Structure formats: structure tokens, C-alpha cells
Chain A
């Protein structure tokens, strides 16, 4: 009972201080920074004016700083979902709420989801209250080789979009092969030709200057339009990661070869058979974004799927990040990590797979707890990877977020049906 009470008190306190930059110290707490530095346990984290000011066992707490007792609790960085449709998909089966798919004419490398990100999406708060503070929102991968450009989001605050045109997304799968003739070989050839063409395109554009407007693509059967080539050119000009959905070992190897030929900053998403080529991935320093709970041989691209894929990849030295395939449930990230641990992955690596690694893949300066950085953290009432613990409080850029969401409000509305009846919104 006292536990419940203290949680309630905390929630109330949290609600009252929501939206104000907090000067706060959490004492006697287990802090997992997701960086190389291991802190002695328990430690203290001091936050002032929105930034982490001090970390460690001997932090001196200045006056006028609110003190929270973190005994038995855990602090981590906010969780980062590296591949979602948060903000561009509300209700999957309602087309008018779906902005993740480009049309027949808009699809391709230049399809840019940044213009449709919905600040009022209920998915933001529902995932945020459970500790997911950042997400990479990407176009849905349809039948095309390239799906388009994604954005980096912070799920709280006034400016949702941290960075537009964050990465280019695509696929080398049986499905994307269908779109270029049917064979997986065609997708590889298509990619190779595209990046070779890109070289020519950029040379021509450089010669002609910024006013280069000549219609492009007459000499290649499957070339892209000028705006698509400009989008592809970002890979060269800004080092944009090229995130390709690839599951089968053979195509992963083909993509690695292609990446080496063209010096492409490739990231493999899916990687169901990644474990088979783990040493090649590690040698090429190519990170992977995987769902460690998807061990199903649901298609011929992924007959080699297995539950310990994450552990095997990590063991081989591959940078591993986790993704939940359903944007409504990015909050399952920590369950994914917990299962990866149950299947042999190192606990710290599993935590990094939902914090620092996804942030690093996209060059977002989040996912770690670091002195001098804006304070974005989650206070958990136990092991954050455990299904019996939960986020007691979430701070983004130094501000406690409101702990309520549309779903907690629905709960309150119906938790006591007797009271509800009086207000007339339950079954009569």
C-alpha cells in the first residue's frame, strides 16, 4: 500500500511540476548512462536549468533543488525507436489518418514525410508516458525499392521535428523485387545502376550549376526523376544513412558489397538472417535495426529467423538497435530488449539497443545520460527491461512530461463503473 501511495504522490508531484524546467536531484538511484562510463551504484543525478550537471556517488546538492529519493529505482536515457510511423499513422485501417505511403507518382526517394507529421497524434503521448522519448519516423515500405526520406522526432515539446531528411529508406526483399521484374537480382542491379547514375548526375549538375534543369533520365530505362536524384544526392552531400530492409543472408551480402563499391553509409533493417553474416556486418561496420522478438519464418526471405539473432549479432561486434514494427506500441521496446537478454544478449548491450545505438545510427545527440547535455531520462520503478516494472516519470530536455494520455483518461473514466453510471457513459 505504501508503495502505491508513494507512486501516487510522485505522480501528483509530477503533474504539478509538468512543463517547468526542473532543478532536481535523484538520489540513491541506479543510473545506466548507455555510455562507456559505468557509475557506481547507487548514485545521484543532478539536473539544473534543464541540463545534467553532475552524476556520481558524491554529488553535492545545492539548495533550492528538489530531491527525489530513487532507492530501488533506475534511471536510463529516454528510449529511442529507430523505425516507426509515429506522427504519420494514426489508425492503420483509416486511410485519411495515414500519411506514410507515397502515391503512385510521389513514391520514390524524394517522398518526404516531414510535411505530414501530426503534432496532435495520440501516439506521441501514449508512447512517451512509457519512456519512449524519441523516434525516427520513416515512410512505410511499400512495393518500391526506395520508400523515401524520414525524420527524427522528439515526442514532447513545441518542436516535434528534430531533424528532417534524416535518412533514406528502402528495401531489398522479394516484395521490392516484384516491382522491378521479380528477381532479387534485379533489385541489386537497380541499386547499383542508381548509384552509378547518381555519380553522373551530380557531375552534370555541377557542370551546369544550380540552375541545372535538364530533364534527367533519358538514357536509362529505370532512372529516377530530377527531384528523386536530388534526394538521392543527399546521401553523398550530407552522408545520409541508407536504411535498407533486407532479411535474407544472400541479399545482405550483396548490399554490403554494393556499399563498399559506392562507399554508402548503409544500415540493414530487418536482418532476420543477419546472424549468418554477422562477421561480415561487423567487419563492414554496418549497423542493424531488428525486432528481436520476430523469430517467425513468415516468408522465404526469412526462413533463418531465430530468437537469439540479437545475441549472435552483438557477440560478433555488430551495432544492434531494436525496433517495434507497430508504431502504436513503440512502448514495447523494453520488452524486446528483455527478450533479447533472455535469449543470450548482454543486458547493457540490450539497453543500448533501445537508447544510444539507434541515436548513433541517425546521428541524433540523444540516447545517453551525459554531463552537460539536456536532461532526457526515465525514472523506472525497477529493471527497465522487465515486464513488471514501469516508467514512474519521464523528463525531456529538462522538463517532466505530463503522465496522462488518452488511454489513462479512458481508464479513469471506466475504472469505477458505479461512478461512471451516474455520469451516464457506461452500459445502462
Chain B
């Protein structure tokens, strides 16, 4: 936004919100990255670090909500300002969820330690996480730049993550069928894959929120979906 408010404190309040969102974004990104690294390398201390960091996001979300409520009460924001504040509340909720998902993945690191993760499965998870993290990183860049075209691109890219998640799902089922002893670790990995896939969904949500903040209208059309796991049967073909 180019122009500034006549009341300069109002600008500072809005800046506080966007700064907090950026901080939350950075923390969430780091937590997700660390949780996946901890999972692949069965690095328990790193997993514990992720678990302990979740409180940072919880606190930041609460601070954003409190500031937003006070700003609405004091300034009675209109139009783009109102959308900015409502957007901050929604994005903070998405980022807080991303942190929870990272924390959940980290908790499972402790559960799967001792069972070795097959190489190609690990690679699949890594790839899934790379895509989800890229979505998250780019959507946080869009939050700063308000590039609407980019927001639309991110929203349309979520189906790639869904496709990889579906293939990982099938792969994990295969391992479980091969040897019942794989069921426990594979179930944990399945939840981890689901966590990572959900992070992509939150990034998409954030892209839609940013689109609304900038334009005042919702992005058109259904978001693309390529998650077919709901139709995968236990016995294939």
C-alpha cells in the first residue's frame, strides 16, 4: 500500500501485524524443515527442538489476535485495512496449524526410531516436504510482495503435492502388506506424509487469503485437487 494513514500510530499497528506474521512464517518454515530432517535422519534431539518451538507460534498467534481485536475496536478499520486485519488473523491461524503439524511429525520421530526407513520411501517423503516447504516459502514471499499472479500460481500448484502424497500412500500400503512388522512404523510415516500434505493445504489457504486481502474478492474456480487416497482400497485391483 503506497499511502500512509493520517494517524501514524495506525500504520504502526498494521505493521506490527505484518511483522509478526513474517516472524511466524519463518519459525513455521524452520520447524517443518527440521521435523522432516529429524525424521529422515532419525535425529531425536532435533525432533525435540521442534517440539519445544511450537509454543513460539502459539504465543505469536495469540499476540496477533489480541492486537487485531484492539485495532478493530480502536480504529474501526474500513475496506483494505479491514481485510488486512482479518487476513492477519486467518494467516496466523494457518501458520499456527503448520507448526502443530511439524510438531506432530517430530513426535513420531521418537516412535519410529529403531526401525529403518527404506531409502526410496525416505526420498519420497523428502520430495513431498521440499514441495510443501517451497509452497510455504513462496506464499510468505507473496505475503510481503502482494503479487496476486504469484498467489494464484501457488494455489494452482497444490495438486503436485497431492499426487506425490497419493503415491506415498500406495507405497506405504505395499510395505505393510509385505511384512506386518512394518505396520507400526509405516502408519507413523503415513501420518507424517499426511502432515506434510496438510502443510501444502495451509499454504494454499494463505494464498487465497492474500488474494482476498489484495483484491477484496475470492479467487475464482475450485482449487485443483489430486489427492486420490480416499479411493485407494486395501486390496488393489
Are A and B a genuine interacting pair, yes or no?
Answer: no
